[in-house]
């Protein structure tokens, strides 16, 4: 399957778990489709980019290693995401990636994830947090920044400032995640 065929197939993807799983399996069975899929994720095609993002997220959850050869491309393009429905799956991938790196200490993720990658991820997460994004994107961003802040001292104070500044104007979901993040950060201090 080539990029144009993949593009056509994505027209048949819908938001159901069965559909996303079906197409993620196709990607995992044809690993050469990862690069064209990622290109579609970061395209500005309002119909295809979200569908490509859903598939990418599902494939990534199934096999974390698929992203490793493409980390440069992935993290370099995070800041280009404009569509809410494409940003959420990518923010989730970032959240899982940070969890694999900082909590699970996954050896392959540690091997591939560079300082530059972490800087670009930090930048994207802060952008998502201050932009008008849906609560899921903000929650994944807060979680990723919390984990990154265990390595980079300056992140937690900045994260705390943003949370406290925005707390009263945000949704109940944002407030709930914020309380957890603030609690975790205060435990780290003590």
Taking a C-beta distance cutoff of 8 angstroms, is the pair 14, 22 a contact?
no
Give the whole-angstrom CA distance, residue 37 versus residue 48. 10
Overall pTM surpassing 0.85 (yes/no): yes
- Per-residue model confidence (pLDDT) at position 15: 84
On the 0-12 / 13-18 / 19+ scale of CB atoms within 10 A, 127 is: middle
**Could you read off the pLDDT of 86-95 as tens digits, one per residue?**
999 999 999 9
At 12, is the secondary structure helix, strand, or coil?
coil
- Per-residue model confidence (pLDDT) at position 5: 86
Number of Cβ within 10 Å of residue 164's Cβ equals 11
H or E segment and range at residue 32: none
Number of Cβ within 10 Å of residue 32's Cβ equals 9
Residue-range domain boundaries for the chain: 1-62, 69-190
Using 70 as the pLDDT threshold, list the residues of the chain that sit under it. none
**Could you read off the pLDDT of 106-120 as tens digits, one per residue?**
999 999 999 999 999
At 90, is the secondary structure helix, strand, or coil?
helix
Phi, psi of 43 (to 5 degrees): -75, 170
């Amino acid at each position: 399957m080539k990029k144009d065929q993949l593009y056509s197939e994505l027209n048949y993807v819908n938001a159901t778990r069965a559909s996303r799983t079906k197409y993620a399996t196709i990607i995992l069975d044809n690993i050469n489709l990862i690069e064209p899929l990622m290109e579609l994720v970061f395209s500005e095609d309002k119909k295809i980019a979200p569908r490509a993002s859903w598939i990418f997220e599902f494939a990534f959850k199934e096999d974390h290693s698929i992203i490793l050869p493409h980390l440069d491309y992935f993290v370099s393009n995070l800041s280009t995401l404009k569509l809410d429905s494409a940003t959420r799956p990518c923010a989730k991938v970032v959240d899982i990636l940070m969890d694999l790196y900082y909590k699970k200490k996954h050896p392959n993720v540690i091997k591939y994830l560079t300082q530059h990658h972490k800087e670009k991820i930090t930048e994207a997460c802060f952008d998502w947090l201050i932009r008008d994004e849906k609560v899921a994107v903000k929650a994944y961003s807060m979680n990723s920044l919390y984990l990154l802040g265990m390595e980079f001292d300056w992140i937690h104070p900045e994260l705390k400032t943003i949370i406290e500044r925005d707390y009263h104007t945000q949704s109940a979901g944002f407030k709930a995640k914020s309380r957890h993040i603030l609690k975790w950060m205060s435990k780290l201090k003590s």
